[in-house]
Amino acid sequence: MTGMWDWHDAQGLSRVINVSGTMTGLGASVTAAPVQQAVAAAMGRFVKMHELQASASEVIARLTGAEAGFMTASASAGVSLSLAGCMTGLNPGAAEALPRDPGQTPNVVVQMGHLCGYGAPISQAVELTGGAVRSIGQSTLCTDYALEAALDETVAAALYVVSHHVVHYGQIPLRRFAEICHARGVPVVVDAASEYDLRGFLAAGADIVIYSGHKFLGGPTSGIVAGRRDLVRAGYLQNIGIGRGMKIGKESIAGAIAALEAWETRDHDGIRARERAALDLWTGALAGIDGVAARIVPDPTGNPLDRLEVHVDAARLGAGAGSVAGLLASRDPAIIVRDHEVELGYFQLDPCNLLPGQAEIVAEALVTALSDKAGLAQAAPVDARNGGVAGYLNWGAV
Ligand SMILES: *Cc1c(COP(=O)(O)O)cnc(C)c1O
C-alpha cells in the first residue's frame, strides 16, 4: 500500500482512525491482502452461484462444526432468512408468500432482555419475515417456565442473542434454553454476529448460528449462517423471496471464504500481543493527566479482546467524557472512540482495528486533546444515545 491516507485524500473523505470497534458507520473492518485478492479474482469472472455457496458451506462446516452453511448480505439478513426458513421449510410457495402470509407458525420466541438494537432493532429483523416476536420474561429476568409456556404449536423458532448489547444477567443460559426448546421440537437460532467463538454455540445446542463476515473475521460485508442442514437449506431457499433484497454477490462470498480460511491460520497470539502493546502505550500516555483514570477491561461476552476504559472526572477536567470523545472526533485524522456508555462518564479505546502506526497517533492525540482546555470547553459532545440517527437525518440535506 502507498501512504496511509492517499485514498481518503484522493476521494476527499475524512481521515479516520477507528478505536471504536467493528462499526457499520466506519465501514466495519479492513480486510487482509488474501481477502482482497479473493474479492478481486471473483469480480472478473462468472460462476455458478449455487456452486460457490456450496464451497462456502464446506468452509463454514469445517470451521464451525455445522452440517452446512450459506452466506447472505449481513448477519441481520441471516437472522431474517434463518427464521423465515424455520417458518416455511423447503416449500417455495410458502417462501414466496412471505411476509404477507407467515403460515401456521408465525411466532418467534425471544427473551425480552435479548431484544436489542445493533443499529436497527432486532425485532424488525424478525418482523421482516412477516412473523411476530413473542417476547418472554422481563428485561432483567426470564424464567424457564416463561419459555416453556411460550412454546406452543404456532412457534417457528426461538431466537437467542449473544452480544454486549443484551442484558447480561437474569437470562436463560443457551444450553438450558436449547434443552427446553428441543423438548418441544422448536429450533434455536443464535445471533452471534460479533462473537469470535465459531463452535461453542452450536456445541451448546444451537440449531443455527449467525456471524457477521465483516466484524472480527475481517471479511467483506456479509452474513454467515451455519447449522442443521435442513434449516440451512430452508434459509437459503428464501433467496427466491424476501432474501432477494438481501442478496450477496460472488465477490463477497469469495472474500468471506478467504476470511474464514485466514481465521484458521491467523496468528491470534501475535494479534493479542500487538493489541496489548497499544493498550499499554495509551495507559502510559494517560498516566499523570489530572482528571483521567484508565483501566484495561475484558470484553463483556468473553471475546479474546481487551479495551482501555478511560474515566473522565468532569469536575476536575472541566469537560465530560462526551466532550473528550467529541474533541478527538473533530481532529484530523478523526479519532473515533467507543462511546456507547459515555453518559456514564467514560469511553473506551478498542485496539482491534488499528493499522500500523495508528496506536502512536492515538496516544499523542489523547495527550494533546486532554490538555487542550479551550478545545474541550468548545467541543461538541458526542450524543451516544441519538448520535446514530443524526447522520441519517442530516445526510443529503441542502
Ligand atoms: C453487528 C450485529 C448485528 C448486525 O450485523 P450485520 O452483519 O452488520 O448485519 C446483529 N446482531 C448483533 C448481536 C450484532 O452485534
| Boundary (domain end) residue, out of 265, 284, 319 | 265
Looking at the 3D structure of the chain, how many domains does it have? 2
Q: Which atom of ligand 1 is nearest to the CA of 212?
A: 7
Q: Within this chain, do residues 194 and 291 fall inside the same structural domain, yes or no?
A: no
Whether residue 150 sits in one domain with residue 223: yes
**How far away, in angstroms, is 359 Cα from ligand 1 center?**
26
Distance 378 CA to ligand 1 centre (A): 34
Residue 118: inside a domain: yes
Q: What is d(CA 154, CA 214) in angstroms, rounded to the nearest whole number?
A: 34
Do 180 and 317 share a domain, yes or no? no
**Predicted pLDDT of residue 383:** 82
Residue 1 lies inside a defined structural domain of this protein: no
Q: If you measure from the C-alpha of residue 374 to the centroid of ligand 1, how many angstroms do you get, rounded to a whole number?
A: 38
- pTM attached to this predicted model: 0.97
Residue 158 falls within a domain, yes or no?
Answer: yes
Residue 396 lies in a domain: no
| CA 223 to ligand 1 center in whole angstroms | 9
Do 242 and 253 fall within a single domain? yes
Alpha-carbon distance values, 358 to 4, 64, 269 (Å): 10, 33, 20
63 and 204 in one domain? yes
**pLDDT in the model for residue 1:** 47
Nearest-atom number in ligand 1 for the CA of 76 is 9
pLDDT number for residue 385? 80
- CA 76 to centroid of ligand 1, rounded, Å: 6
Mutate to test the pocket of ligand 1, among 191, 196, 350, 352 (most ligand atoms within 8 A of CB): 191
The domain of 377 spans: 6-27+268-391
**Is there a domain that residue 398 lies in?**
no
Greatest pairwise CA separation for the chain in angstroms: 67
CA-based nearest residue to 232, from 269, 254, 202: 202
CA dist list (Å): 171 to 115, 166, 278 = 12, 10, 34
Pocket of ligand 1 (CB under 6 A): 24, 74-76, 118, 161, 163, 165, 191, 193-194, 212, 223
Domain boundary among 265, 292, 322: 265
Judgement on whether residues 294 and 236 belong to the same structural domain of the protein: no
For residues 77 and 23, state if they share a domain.
no
Predicted local distance difference test score (pLDDT) of residue 98: 98
Cα–ligand 1 centroid distance for 313 (angstroms): 33
pLDDT-flagged residues of the chain (< 50) = 1
Closest atom of ligand 1 to 214 CA is 7
Instruction: Quote the pLDDT of residue 330.
Output: 96
The answer on 56 and 204 residing in a single domain is yes
CATH label of the domain that carries residue 44: 3.40.640.10
User: Distance from the CA of 75 to the center of ligand 1, in angstroms?
Assistant: 5
Per-residue confidence (pLDDT) for residue 2, from 0 to 100: 66
Evaluate whether 285 touches 366 at the Cβ level (below 8 Å). yes
Choose the final residue of a domain: 211, 233, 265: 265
Query: Which set of grid coordinates corresponds to residue 179?
Result: 434443552
Closest ligand 1 atom to residue 78 Cα is 9
- Which CATH number characterizes residue 288's domain? 3.90.1150.180
145: in domain? yes
Structural domain contains residue 203: yes
Residues 53 and 197 in one domain: yes
Are the C-beta atoms of 231 and 190 separated by less than 8 Å? no
Q: Tell how far the Cα of 118 is from the centroid of ligand 1, in angstroms.
A: 6
Count of C-beta atoms within a 10 Å radius of residue 350:
23
Indicate whether 12 and 43 sit together in one domain: no
Task: Give a yes or no: residue 292 inside a domain.
Answer: yes
Measured in Å, residue 292 CA sits from the centre of ligand 1 at 32
Please check whether residues 52 and 127 belong to one and the same domain. yes
Residues ≥6 apart with Cβ < 8 Å to 358:
4, 17
Ligand 1 atom closest to Cα of residue 213: 7
Residue nearest to atom 14 of ligand 1 (CA): 193
Ligand 1 atom closest to 192 (CA):
13
| 72, 163, 165, best to mutate for ligand 1 pocket (most atoms within 8 Å of CB) | 163
147 and 201 assigned to the same domain: yes
| Contact between residue 226 and residue 71 where contact means Cβ atoms under 8 Å apart | no
Nearest-angstrom CA–CA distance, 242 and 75 = 15
By most ligand atoms within 8 Å of CB, the mutation choice from 76, 128, 303 for ligand 1 is 76
